Structure formats: structure tokens, C-alpha cells
Amino acid sequence: MKLSLIPFLAFATLSATKPTPTAESKVFLCSDSTAAEYGPQTTGIQGFGYYLYPFFTSTFVNRARGGRSTRSFINEGLWTQLLNLTSPGDYVVIEMGHNDGGTPGTGGDVGKDRAVLSGVGEETVVVKNSTGKDEVVRTFGSYLRQMIADLRAIGATPVLSGMVPLMRWNDGNTTLQKTWRFTEYSREVSKTENVLFLNHTAYSVARFQELGYAEAKKMFPNDDTHTNSVGAKVNAESFVTSILCADGPNAASFRETLSKNATEIGYGCLGVA
């Protein structure tokens, strides 16, 4: 499916100014550095959450924090802080995965305490974390289920979202990798827990794929993970498009939190779940 770049170029002039909310419900984003907001002192990177404010009439609250996984977001108290801000009727989008990989308690996880077990089952492993204490580490799916249960207990609506892609190109840099395991884990949990799933991954992949390797790489100045402001706008538009095109529990009511700016993006649905 051919996607026009005209709406993206128009969005380059759209301010990230936070609009006056006209709805009572709030929309929270729980995520990592790919969505976090960075000031001018940060060398050339910006997260997509920075550009989401104009797309909501509901109050949008970006709680994304760099370097966090589902495990560390919970263990560091960031999740409790988010819950304390949440009220019945609010929506909380959980988009994680970039920092959940690795082997808990060993290698690159030492001192970071963020790697989880792969999958969505009930497997656990006991590791010695950076505090010197034993910690029971669970699967990615298990942490997501905890978050879902916590939100439902206070009357908020959980929404799971696939993570934005890394710049991993195949076939001579002609094809951007489409499938990411933590996106698939989120999708699987969304089905078993009857939660709305946003295929942010697919819509971001489609946008970068259309731009092509050379143009897309310019939007990742430091590494294959973190975007500059232009790349963040691409991921913001693809996030909103995934809401517009979502088909699942609470999809229609969640779309009611969007502003007219969302419908002006102008990108079609991909027909993916």
C-alpha cells in the first residue's frame, strides 16, 4: 500500500503545544526512551511522545522514561507514581520492549536490573540484583498482566502497543525488519486479557519503509534506536494512525480522546491487527 508523504511534511509545522483538554478522561503513555521527552541539551534526539499532545483533546500525560523495561518501571516505583495519577475512566497505553531483552542477572543486565524472561508464560527465575537481594524475575507477559490488573482495579482502561522498530534493514538495506518479539508478546497478551492492541510497530515500519533506508537512517543520528525530531514526528503520526485504525476492545471510545489533528494526518489503514 502506497502511503503519501504529504501529511508528514505538513506535520513538520505542527507545534507540540499542549492543547486545552476538552474531555474529562486522561491518556497516559508508559514507555521508554523512544517515547520520552528531551530538552535542548540532549544531543539531537527526541521521543515520539513529545509530539503527541496536539493529537488529543483529553489531557495527554507522557510518563515514558529512558532505559526502563516493564520490570524496572515497576521496581523503581515509576509504575506506582503513574497509578497514583490515574483515575477511573482514564486510558493508559503501555508500549515497552526495547529494554526488556537480555538475560536477567547476568551480562549486560548486571547493574541495570531490567532484563525479563522471554515469552508470556508464568516462568520465573531468581537472580541477585544490584541491591544484593534476591529478586524473582518474570516473563514480559507476566509484567504486562500485572500492569493490566493494576489499572483495571482502579477503573482505568489498559491499552497495549507494539514498540517502534529499530533501524534493522535486510536484503541489502531494502527491507526494514517488520517483526519484533516484544510486539508479538504484547499482541498475545492483548488477546488473552481482552485488551486493545495498537500495532504501532507496523505503522512505523510502513512509514520508514516508504522513506527508504537512506532517508530513514538520517532520522537516527546516534544509533539504531533513538530518533531525532523528524523521526519522532514519524513515530508520533504512526502511533496516532494505529489508534485510528485499531479494531478491538474499547477502540471506538479510545478514538474519542483524539483531536481533529489526528484525522488530518491522512494515512490509510494497513489492514493489520
The set of catalytic residues is 33, 223, 226
d(CA 94, CA 24) in angstroms, rounded, equals 20
Q: In 119-190, which ranges are E strands?
A: 124-128, 134-138, 157-161, 169-170, 175-176
Nearest residue to 99 (alpha-carbon basis) of 136, 39, 140, 130: 140
3-state secondary structure of 66: coil
d(CA 266, CA 264): 5
Long-range contacts from 202-205, C-beta under 8 angstroms, 24+ separation:
202/162, 202/178, 202/242, 202/270, 202/272, 203/238, 203/239, 203/241, 203/242, 203/245, 203/267, 203/270, 204/164, 204/165, 204/234, 204/235, 204/238, 204/239, 205/165, 205/176, 205/177, 205/178
* CA separation for the pair 238, 240 (Å, rounded): 5
